[in-house]
């Protein structure tokens, strides 16, 4: 089932980038989401290399490894488009805008690189940025540093501004651009770890990091990125955003653990039972949120918080609901594509990693409803001789793939629906278009 979206009234030229999500046909009159923020997407990528500098060249190479290959950049895209679709609407916008021009934490772009602690305390050596460390050659003697300079205080007129209209032309605050980088860093760190867990030989058209550098360095590289992402997060100067993004880091780990969880019948019950299947679905959707949607949902919410949207206003809720729904849709499509790649194995294309990893995703769980013999295969994680092939056959004979796709469409449609609480804008139209592309993507 494919959703058909009504064309919008304001037509713009379509510019397609060569990413898998952006490569598909866009409905006429919908802006290309990637084209709308193409310069910023390219800029944040270049700047990321600066954030990940290390005195250890090997560590720097691993940390940057996945950023040097083309990626979908879906997460930064969502963050930037939501910034463009809401900046100016929140009650704290004027304050955020004023702060973005000041030399202070959460302020102008250069300030976001400034350490909050003195160099000889922070000791975080990044040769690509100003000195944030000191020498260890001498004994550290006690000294009282000079009192820090007073931070600029916002004029009272700024706090009381009541005008609430979308900023035109659309623009993105330095903190929101930095957030987009932080979110990409967290994502890349999770992929470095994921490729160790999944023993993946390939990623983004090349060798995976564990294959290229070994497991130990891939894990350490991921941890290093998380450390640098946390430093950058603290310099955004917003405790709620820090909390949201830090919680994504634990969600990712919990999602990965949930994914490993066995599907098993409670003591004394026959397997399969409807309760076991229901629980398997609950765990699957929970895992899908934690592993994939959490970063999009909380990243999106953080973006509008940094743009001055406050509690009691609808914008934070829109951002979170959009990110969560599109994130779940994205992962459901991923799970479908894994089966479609299996279908292509006869044509020499690799794929079908999920069953090999013992994972029962949407298509297998739906197939279980039609073919009870799927239950024992799921329970033993497709580990028996011929299990993977039998599971593929059962999925093929069932409506599992179509039903998972239909579920993805339902989540994507909901993501588009919640956007209707925002004023019309090109960025909103691009976010709408993204929900369609996530469903249509082929890789």
Q: Minimal distance in Å, beta carbon 392 to ligand FPP? A: 17
Stretch that binds ligand FPP, among 112-120, 142-150, 252-260, 418-426 (CB under 6 A): 252-260
Closest separation in Å from C-beta 99 to ligand FPP: 29
Q: What's the min distance (Å) between Cβ of 144 and ligand FPP? A: 38
174 binds ligand FPP per the rule CB under 6 A: no
Is residue 186 within the footprint of ligand FPP (CB under 6 A)? Answer: yes
Nearer to Mg ion, 95 or 357 (CB): 357
* Residue among 110 and 262 whose Cβ is closer to ligand FPP: 262
Of positions 252, 280, 321, 429, contacts ligand FPP by CB under 6 A: 252
Residue 187 vs 301, nearer CB to ligand FPP = 187
Q: Specify the stretch interacting with Mg ion by CB under 5 A; choose among 23-31, 63-71, 194-202, 294-302.
A: 194-202
Among 291, 324, 403, 405, binds ligand FPP (CB under 6 A): 291
Residue of 83, 170, 249, 377 interacting with ligand FPP (CB under 6 A): 249
Residue nearest Mg ion (C-beta atom): 198
Between 198 and 432, whose beta carbon lies closer to Mg ion? 198
Nearer to ligand FPP, 174 or 299 (CB): 299
Q: What is the distance, to the nearest Å, from the Cα of residue 222 to the centroid of all Cα atoms in its chain?
A: 15
Residue 184 found at the interface with ligand FPP (CB under 6 A): no
Shortest reach from residue 344's CB to ligand FPP, in Å: 15
Which residues, 192 to 211, sit near ligand FPP by CB under 6 A?
193-194, 197-198, 200
* Minimum distance of ligand FPP from residue 214's CB (angstroms): 17
Binding residues for ligand FPP (CB under 6 A): 186, 189-190, 193-194, 197-198, 200, 222, 226, 249, 252-253, 256, 291-292
Binding residues for Mg ion (CB under 5 A): 194, 198
């Amino acid at each position: 089932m494919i959703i058909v979206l009504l064309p919008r009234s304001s037509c713009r030229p379509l510019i397609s980038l060569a990413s898998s999500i952006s490569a598909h046909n866009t409905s006429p009159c919908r802006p290309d989401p990637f084209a709308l923020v193409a310069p910023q997407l390219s800029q944040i990528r270049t700047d990321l290399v600066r954030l990940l500098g290390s005195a250890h060249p090997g560590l720097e190479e691993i940390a940057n490894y996945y950023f040097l290959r083309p990626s979908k950049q879906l997460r930064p895209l969502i963050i930037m488009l939501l910034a463009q679709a809401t900046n100016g609407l929140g009650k704290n916008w004027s304050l955020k805008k004023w702060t973005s021009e000041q030399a202070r934490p959460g302020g102008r772009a250069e300030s976001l690189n400034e350490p909050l602690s003195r160099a000889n305390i922070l000791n975080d050596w990044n040769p690509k940025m100003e000195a944030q460390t000191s020498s260890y050659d001498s004994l550290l003697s006690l000294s009282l540093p000079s009192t820090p300079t007073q931070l600029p205080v916002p004029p009272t007129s700024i706090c009381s501004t009541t005008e609430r209209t979308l900023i035109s032309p659309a623009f993105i605050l330095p903190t929101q651009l930095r957030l987009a980088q932080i979110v990409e860093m967290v994502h890349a760190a999770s992929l470095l770890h994921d490729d160790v867990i999944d023993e993946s030989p390939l990623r983004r058209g090349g060798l995976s990091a564990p294959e290229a550098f070994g497991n130990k360095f891939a894990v350490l590289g991921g941890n290093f990125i998380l450390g640098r992402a946390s430093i950058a997060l603290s310099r955004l100067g917003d405790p709620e955003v820090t909390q949201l993004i830090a919680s994504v880091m634990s969600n990712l780990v919990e999602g990965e653990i949930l994914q490993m969880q066995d599907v098993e019948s409670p003591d004394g019950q026959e397997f399969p039972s409807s309760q076991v299947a229901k629980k398997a679905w609950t765990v699957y959707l929970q895992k899908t949120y934690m592993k994939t949607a959490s970063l999009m949902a909380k990243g999106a919410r953080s973006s509008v918080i940094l743009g001055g949207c406050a509690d009691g206003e609808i914008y934070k809720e829109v951002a979170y609901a959009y990110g969560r729904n599109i994130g779940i849709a994205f992962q459901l499509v991923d799970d479908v594509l894994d089966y479609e790649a299996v279908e292509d194995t006869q044509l020499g294309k690799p794929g079908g990693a999920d069953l090999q990893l013992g994972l029962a995703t949407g298509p297998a769980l739906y197939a279980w409803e039609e073919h009870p013999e799927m239950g024992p295969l799921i329970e033993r994680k497709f580990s028996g001789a011929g299990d993977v092939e039998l599971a593929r056959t059962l999925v093929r004979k069932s409506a599992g793939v179509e039903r998972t796709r239909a579920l993805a469409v339902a989540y994507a449609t909901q993501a588009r629906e919640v956007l209707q609480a925002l004023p019309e804008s090109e960025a909103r139209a691009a976010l709408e278009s993204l929900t369609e592309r996530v469903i249509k993507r082929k890789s």
